[in-house]
Amino acid sequence: MARLKVGIIFGGSSEEHPVSVKSAQEVAKNLDVEKYEPFWIGITKRGAWQLCDGPDAAWESGACRPAVLSPDSGVHGLLILEQGRYEAIRLDVVFPVLHGKLGEDGAFQGLLELSGIPYVGCDVQSSALCMDKSLAYVVAGSAGIATPNFWTLTANENPDPDLLTYPVYVKPARSGSSFGVSKVSRKEELPSAVETARQYDTKVLIEEAVVGSEVGCAILGNDGELVAGEVDQISLTHGIFRIHQESNPESGSENSTITVPADIPAATRSLVQETAKAIYRALGCRGLSRVDMFLTEDGSVVLNEVNTLPGLTSYSRYPRMMAAAGLPLTEVIDRVLSLALTGKAR
């Protein structure tokens, strides 16, 4: 049987470029090459597309060939530049291993829709919705999901510090991995926090702090057939959780510990998993997503954010939660590719 041709896109021009490369490297270790023929397409920080041998450490300076994903559904794949001519390579499915802007916000998904190639993960609408935390709160709230109290600022707006109850969190409305996020304990700190957030997005979100612990749940599937990973829980010694921003995240965090499975009662674990599924459905997710929530002191579950293309690195939360539930990354990859091709898991 011929192997399925899988275009694996990684890198990108967002601040999460290095994380995407690490995720792709982990996918390379766990992809079943007897079933899948990978075509590795790396996007440099400057936005250049290259067909590479793989996501090794030297891919951006190696002997790669210029390549683009054609929006022409008749091509249904890649156009490779060779000596002034283009060679077309038909792909069966695309696996975007991208994080952040232009990868996780619906822009890349729009290109894939034009191409006609099946792809892993959320569609245009769901990707854009989940990327904008304020819009996700509005939709989830209308479905009966608890969300933090929040306010949004446009590019020309400034908040009135006297109208807020502290502490609050100030963050870019459309960014990931805690880039640009600040905890503000006093009103004097607010202007600087807003300016930090605006380095990543013109739209800024201000949230009232939720008293409780941070928990997460990995979700896999389409529509009604959803699989939940084990719940994880984040314990902080100080500051805020900033995964992927440590100098050496593979060796752990300087201020946080992630416990999988979370040390919570079975009934609470089930509540977190069912709430994550409800959020996933309300926001129209498919394929895979990591749902981050708060678990309050009274046992309530509050939405934090949804990551539609979660990190897949050796230290990332999504694969660890799925592995704890008995699904190693090789099987997760197999299932999400199957979901992209058939609409349901094997």
pLDDT tens, 14-27? Answer: 889 999 999 999 99
- Comparing 33-37, 58-62, 112-116, 298-302, the range with the smallest average pLDDT is 58-62
Q: Which of 315, 317, 332, 336 is catalytic?
A: 315
Given 78, 99, 119, the domain boundary residue is: 119
Q: Indicate whether 64 and 108 sit together in one domain.
A: yes
244 is catalytic: yes
344, β-bridge pairs:
none
Tell me, yes or no, if the pTM score tops 0.75.
Answer: yes
Given 169, 188, 208, the domain boundary residue is: 208
- Comparing 149-153, 219-223, 256-260, 293-297, the range with the smallest average pLDDT is 256-260
Q: Indicate whether 143 and 255 sit together in one domain.
A: yes
- 3-class secondary structure, 333: helix
Q: Indicate whether 164 and 269 sit together in one domain.
A: no
141-165 tens-digit pLDDT: 999 999 999 999 998 898 999 999 9
Confidence at residue 15, expressed as pLDDT on a 0 to 100 scale:
87
The count of domains in the chain is 3
Whole-angstrom Cα distance, residue 42 to residue 21?
8
Q: Indicate whether 140 and 270 sit together in one domain.
A: yes
Q: Which of 34, 224, 238, 250 is catalytic?
A: 250
Q: What is the CATH number for 8?
A: 3.40.50.20
Q: Which of 121, 176, 229, 311 is catalytic?
A: 311
Q: What is the CATH number for 287?
A: 3.30.470.20
Domain limits at 188? 150-208
- 3-class secondary structure, 20: helix
Q: Indicate whether 138 and 158 sit together in one domain.
A: no
Give me the phi and psi of 163, to 5 degrees please.
-90, -5
Q: Is the dihedral of CA 122, 126, 130, 131 positive or negative?
A: positive
In 184-316, which residue ranges form alpha helices assigned H by DSSP? 190-197, 266-282
Under 8 Å CB-to-CB from 187, ≥6 apart: which residues? 161, 162, 164, 166
Q: Indicate whether 240 and 135 sit together in one domain.
A: yes
Over the chain, what is the mean pLDDT?
92
Q: Is the dihedral of CA 292, 240, 195, 189 positive or negative?
A: positive
Q: Which of 5, 15, 19, 21 is catalytic?
A: 19
Helix, strand and coil percent figures for the chain, each rounded to 5: 30, 30, 40
Q: Indicate whether 141 and 154 sit together in one domain.
A: no
63-90 tens-digit pLDDT: 789 999 999 999 999 999 888 888 999 9
Q: Indicate whether 163 and 270 sit together in one domain.
A: no
Q: Is the peptide bond before 261 cis (omega within 30 degrees of 0)?
A: yes
Q: Taking the chain, what is the end-to-end CA distance rounded to the nearest angstrom?
A: 18
CA nearest 131: which of 241, 322, 289? 289
Is the pLDDT confidence value at 312 over 80? yes
State the average pLDDT over residues 328-333.
98
Q: Which of 101, 174, 290, 335 is catalytic?
A: 290
Higher-scoring residue by pLDDT: 235, 329: 329
Q: Which of 244, 269, 286, 335 is catalytic?
A: 244
200 is catalytic: no
311 is catalytic: yes
Whole-angstrom Cα distance, residue 257 to residue 187?
29
Q: Are strands 93-97 and 182-184 parallel, antiparallel or unpaired?
A: unpaired
Is the pLDDT confidence value at 240 over 70? no
Is the pLDDT confidence value at 346 over 50? no
Q: Which of 5, 17, 22, 101 is catalytic?
A: 22
CA nearest 284: which of 245, 325, 226? 226
Given 166, 182, 208, the domain boundary residue is: 208
290 is catalytic: yes
Q: Are strands 65-69 and 77-82 parallel, antiparallel or unpaired?
A: antiparallel
Q: Indicate whether 199 and 114 sit together in one domain.
A: no
Rg of the chain's alpha carbons, rounded to an integer? 20
CB count, 10 Å around CB of 224? 8
Q: Indicate whether 215 and 273 sit together in one domain.
A: yes
Q: Is 41 exposed, middle or buried (0-12, 13-18, 19+ CB in 10 A)?
A: buried
169 is catalytic: no
Q: Indicate whether 260 and 141 sit together in one domain.
A: yes
103 is catalytic: no
Q: What is the CATH number for 184?
A: 3.30.1490.20
Q: Which of 17, 99, 277, 286 is catalytic?
A: 99
